[in-house]
C-alpha cells in the first residue's frame, strides 16, 4: 500500500491500440516511493481513488490548538467549573469544527456510527424510524483551511477568558510557516 500521491496536470490519453491511459505530473519526492510500489505490484491490478487534494494541517498548529484548549480548561477549573481539555475539545468541535447531520437507518446505526467518535442524537421524527445524528470530524483530519477556522475560534474563546494568545505577528509567522510547508489553504 502506498500513501496518497499529489497529482497535477492530469490528462486522459488514448494510445495506438485504443487503450486509455492516465498521465499526470508528480513531485520529485514522490518518484522513488512510486517506483518501489510499482515494482511490488508488477502485473497486478491496483485500485486508485481520485479526489481533490487537501493539504494536511501542521502539527505546530495542532499543538497550539491543544495548548490553548488546556489553558481554557485550567482557567475554567480555577473559576470553579470541573472540565477537562477533552471536554473543551468536544465543545470546540461543536462550535468551530467540521460536521454535519446524518440520517441513519436503525438496522445500520451501529455500523455507521462507530465511524464517528464525536456524535450526538440530533432529532427524532415520530413519523419515521430513521435516526438523525449530528457528527463531527476530529481535527486530525482537517485541512489547512478547516484547521485555521478551528484555531481562530479557540483563540477567540481564550481571549474572552483573559488568556494570553499569540500576537497577530506570531500568528502571521505561524501561518506563513504553515503555508510555506503545506501550501495554500484548501478551498
pLDDT value at residue 142: 83
Question: How far, in whole angstroms, is CA 41 from its chain's centroid?
Answer: 30
What is the value of pTM for the model shown?
A: 0.63
pLDDT value at residue 56: 67
**What is the tens place of the pLDDT at every residue in 2-14?**
778 889 999 999 9
Q: Which residues of the chain have pLDDT under 70?
A: 56-59, 126-127, 175-187
Of 176, 177, 153, nearest to 165 by C-alpha is 153
**What is the tens place of the pLDDT at every residue in 123-141?**
777 667 888 889 999 888 8
pLDDT value at residue 187: 46
pLDDT value at residue 112: 83
Question: How far, in whole angstroms, is CA 60 from its chain's centroid?
Answer: 15
Domains delineated in the chain: 1-53 (no CATH), 59-182 (1.10.3790)
Amino acid at each position: 500500500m502506498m500513501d496518497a500521491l499529489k497529482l497535477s496536470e492530469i490528462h486522459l490519453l488514448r494510445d495506438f491500440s485504443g487503450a486509455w491511459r492516465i498521465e499526470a505530473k508528480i513531485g520529485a519526492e514522490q518518484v522513488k516511493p512510486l517506483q518501489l510500489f510499482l515494482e511490488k505490484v508488477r502485473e497486478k491490478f491496483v485500485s486508485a481513488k481520485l479526489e481533490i487534494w487537501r493539504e494536511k494541517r501542521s502539527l505546530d498548529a495542532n499543538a497550539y490548538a491543544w495548548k490553548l484548549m488546556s489553558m481554557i480548561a485550567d482557567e475554567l477549573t480555577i473559576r470553579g467549573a470541573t472540565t477537562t481539555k477533552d471536554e473543551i475539545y468536544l465543545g470546540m468541535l461543536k462550535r468551530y469544527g467540521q460536521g454535519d447531520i446524518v440520517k441513519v437507518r436503525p438496522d445500520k446505526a451501529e455500523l455507521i456510527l462507530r465511524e464517528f467518535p464525536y456524535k450526538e442524537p440530533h432529532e427524532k421524527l415520530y413519523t419515521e424510524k430513521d435516526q438523525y445524528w449530528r457528527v463531527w470530524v476530529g481535527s486530525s483530519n482537517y485541512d489547512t483551511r478547516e484547521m485555521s477556522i478551528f484555531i481562530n475560534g479557540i483563540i477567540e474563546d481564550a481571549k474572552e477568558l483573559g488568556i494570553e494568545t499569540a500576537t497577530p505577528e506570531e500568528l502571521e509567522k505561524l501561518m506563513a510557516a504553515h503555508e510555506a510547508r503545506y501550501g495554500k489553504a484548501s478551498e
